[in-house]
Amino acid sequence: MPTIKDVAKASGVSVATVSNYINGKSVRKNNEAAIEYAINSLNYKVDMLARSFRTKQTFTIGVVVNTFYSLFYMEVLHEMEKHLRKNGYCMIVFSSDNDCENEKQILDIMLNKYVDAIIVFPVSYEKSQIESIVHDEVPVVLVDHIIKNSNYPCVVADNINASYSVVEYMIKNGHKNIAVVSGHRDASTTNERILGYLRAFEDYHLPVDDSDIFIGDYTSESGYDLTQRVLASPKKYTALFVLSFDLFLGVAMALKEKNIKIPDDLSLVSFDYSEYIDLSEKMVTVVKQPNKLLGVEAAKKAIELIMNRHESSSNIVRCKCEVMIRDSVKNIL
Amino acid sequence: MPTIKDVAKASGVSVATVSNYINGKSVRKNNEAAIEYAINSLNYKVDMLARSFRTKQTFTIGVVVNTFYSLFYMEVLHEMEKHLRKNGYCMIVFSSDNDCENEKQILDIMLNKYVDAIIVFPVSYEKSQIESIVHDEVPVVLVDHIIKNSNYPCVVADNINASYSVVEYMIKNGHKNIAVVSGHRDASTTNERILGYLRAFEDYHLPVDDSDIFIGDYTSESGYDLTQRVLASPKKYTALFVLSFDLFLGVAMALKEKNIKIPDDLSLVSFDYSEYIDLSEKMVTVVKQPNKLLGVEAAKKAIELIMNRHESSSNIVRCKCEVMIRDSVKNIL
DNA sequence: TTGTACGCGTTATCAT
DNA sequence: ATGATAACGCGTACAA
């Protein structure tokens, strides 16, 4: 592999000049041509490792997801990678498996690898362990979850409004007893979705009860179990509001087992549209998260922070969800 | 950040000794203790960038998938990442978006980044562009598709046998007219699945017709279109053999639209089990690919090649599929 | 525009 | 056998 020295020798200038040329600084016209020629004929390429060693810039962005095993990350990562590569960055990806210890370890690895920025789908919702590890060595962008008291910029879906409007839609169709099938509430995303639900009830002067919110975790097993509990409840619910697609899977299984028909026996609304949900017998009314946008915006934010370190404005980018009204809510007025 | 020099100074030995200690070479006992102490009290960490610069080893493995937007890669990547990290490697991931030009560009980037190995889900099936770019600079592992005349080791599902046995199952249930809903045939995976189908028909002395194989691409739209064509065909098929989950999605839509009941009106078997397929009304008989195993085996192979460069045995690892017999094939005997 | 110190861990060479 | 010293890798940045 030819080095910058070879290029300098071949083109009769110093390495500094070649370096300047490569990095877009002004160089004497005839030198420019000579260097260009030398680079081409030697087929010289900048050794990224050497450059990184010197500059501590790797053009690599570290990403921590909670799991790969989810449609959500699939879409987000797809767009993120595309956007990053278009801008000359690579993506180095880890899965925390929803484990704080893993997250910690991964952050350490990434710092040690000198990633230029870190994009995290945080596991740790409450007090951020992220800050205590990363300090200010590297810009951090949070995605999907907001961490309390954190100063990092954050890209999230507009959960409150989406939740509000889809619940409002149910209310307008006469539903007053809506059970929420939810994951753990300490996640900001969950909380916001529940908040939207509560606000809609408030605004329509309907009573809400904490026991209407069935809390599990974001797995299909949990969705299955919670549905059993909803159905066994003394209160008769006319509708279910499911807060994620994984939960929905379990809900669908449970309903199928009990031969409960949507929307005749029970109305149903879920979060997380994907093509897969259309396998259900009825087209389910569903909130489509802006997954692709989340990916792109997080990537943009990361690059922006790399370019412009001082602008550490802890701003929140909210991406709008789309409510897809379909056939799973019965008008019971 | 403390450097190896600081550690050497603090422990009263030379940098070479510290380096030896770090890299597991034998060091005098008392020096060992002193170095260990210095490392801990200074909180010294090896600068990976400096080490990589010198050794050209990055402990990073480059992965090229065709897309993130698929359940298949989701599972594969999940396991791959876990296994790699457990072994001290990072995963840098790109999506070729099924585009040869992208693949080429990505390979270039990875070489330039000095990845220690490359794991590719190849786009280019026929003549490999991979060899002409990578040469022998870095070990390469192919996953999911075999490239003709390629010397790279390869990790694939045992498509032929899986296909054979599930088709055999259909035949034993009396089906002689089975339409195949397939993606592009130039992919080795597709070809093998079709081969299994053909062999089963041969072994049972049943006639096969090329026109029974409906070729599209691996998208739900294609599945939808192909199903229309199958149904419009003059030949009356009693069963459908769908070669991927994405195709299946489209197939399911088309059948739902036409109100065709599984398995009473038509029997159905698909490739690619995932929990999501259970949203279908009937439990579909399906081939479960060993996705997780593919991920792990590819990771293992890559690490093995890194450790042991000369062993360039172009071997093929075949991972067994599981046939999940469920309720979507009617016995018509 | 250029000479050169620099970053930092590794390794070859030489010394003990 | 261990350890010390210095060269090395390669692009960058600063002073000249």
For the residues of B180-193, what is the DSSP string, one character each?
EEE--TTSHHHHHH
Nearest CB among A70, A85, A279 relative to B279 is that of A279
pLDDT of B314 reads 66
Q: Across the strands, what pairs with B62?
A: B92, B118
pLDDT band at A187 (very low <50, low <70, confident <90, very high): confident
pLDDT of B169 reads 98
Residue A236 has pLDDT above 90, yes or no: yes
Cβ pair A25, A55 in contact under 8 A? no
Nucleotide C9: closest residue by CA–C1':
B51
CA dist B37 and A309 (Å) reads 36
CA dist A293 and A315 (Å) reads 16
Chain D positions with a protein C-beta closer than 7 Å: 1-6, 8-15
Whether residues B56 and A49 touch (CB distance < 8 A) is answered with yes
pLDDT of B312 reads 60
Q: Tens digits of per-residue pLDDT, A217-232?
A: 999 999 999 999 999 9
pLDDT of A118 reads 97
Q: Give A48→chain B minimum CA distance, Å.
A: 6
Residue A30 or A201, more confident: A201
Cβ pair B54, A47 in contact under 8 A? no
pLDDT of B25 reads 86
What mean pLDDT, rounded, does chain A reach?
Answer: 93
The torsion angles phi and psi of A118, rounded to 5 degrees, stand at -125, 130
Segments of chain B scoring below 50 in pLDDT: none
CA dist B203 and A154 (Å) reads 60
Q: Tens digits of per-residue pLDDT, A84-137?
A: 999 999 999 999 999 999 999 999 999 999 999 999 999 877 667 898 899 888
Residues A68-89: b if buried by 16+ CB within 10 A, e if exposed: bbbbbbbbbbbbbbbbbbeeeb
CA dist A189 and A58 (Å) reads 32
In the structure, how far is the CA atom of residue B27 from the C1' atom of nucleotide C14, in angstroms? 19
CA dist B258 and B115 (Å) reads 51
**What would the mean pLDDT of A244-250 be, rounded to a whole number?**
95
pLDDT of A314 reads 66
E runs forming strands in chain B:
60-65, 90-95, 117-120, 140-143, 154-157, 178-182, 213-215, 239-242, 267-271, 285-288, 316-319, 322-324
pLDDT of B126 reads 67
**CA B61 to chain CA centroid, nearest Å:** 15
- Between the two ends of chain A, the Cα-to-Cα distance in Å is 76
Compute the CA torsion angle A169, A170, A173, A178 (nearest 10 deg).
-160
DSSP class of residue B210 equals G
**Taking every pair of C-alpha atoms in chain A, what is the biggest distance, in angstroms?**
88
Q: In what order do the strands lie in the sheet with A316-319?
A: A316-319, A154-157, A140-143, A117-120, A60-65, A90-95, B90-95, B60-65, B117-120, B140-143, B154-157, B316-319
In the structure, how far is the CA atom of residue A20 from the C1' atom of nucleotide D9, in angstroms? 20
In this complex, the answer to whether residue B27 has its CB under 7 A from any atom of chain D, a nucleic strand, is yes
Whether residues A69 and B75 touch (CB distance < 8 A) is answered with yes
Q: Give B208→chain A minimum CA distance, Å.
A: 31
Instruction: Find tokens 């008008």 and name the residue.
Output: A331
pLDDT of A60 reads 97
CA dist A270 and A241 (Å) reads 6
CA dist A134 and A177 (Å) reads 46
pTM: 0.94
Q: Tens digits of per-residue pLDDT, A260-293?
A: 999 999 999 999 999 999 999 899 999 999 999 9
Residues 6+ apart with CB under 8 A from B255: B227, B262, B266, B268
Residues of B in contact with A70 (CB under 8 A): 74
State which amino acid sits at residue B10.
A
pLDDT of B187 reads 87
CA dist B229 and A10 (Å) reads 64
Closest CA to B292 of B71, B10, B37: B71
Nearest CB among B50, B68, B81 relative to A78 is that of B68
CA dist A296 and A302 (Å) reads 10
In the structure, how far is the CA atom of residue A10 from the C1' atom of nucleotide C2, in angstroms? 16
Residues of A in contact with B114 (CB under 8 A): 48-49
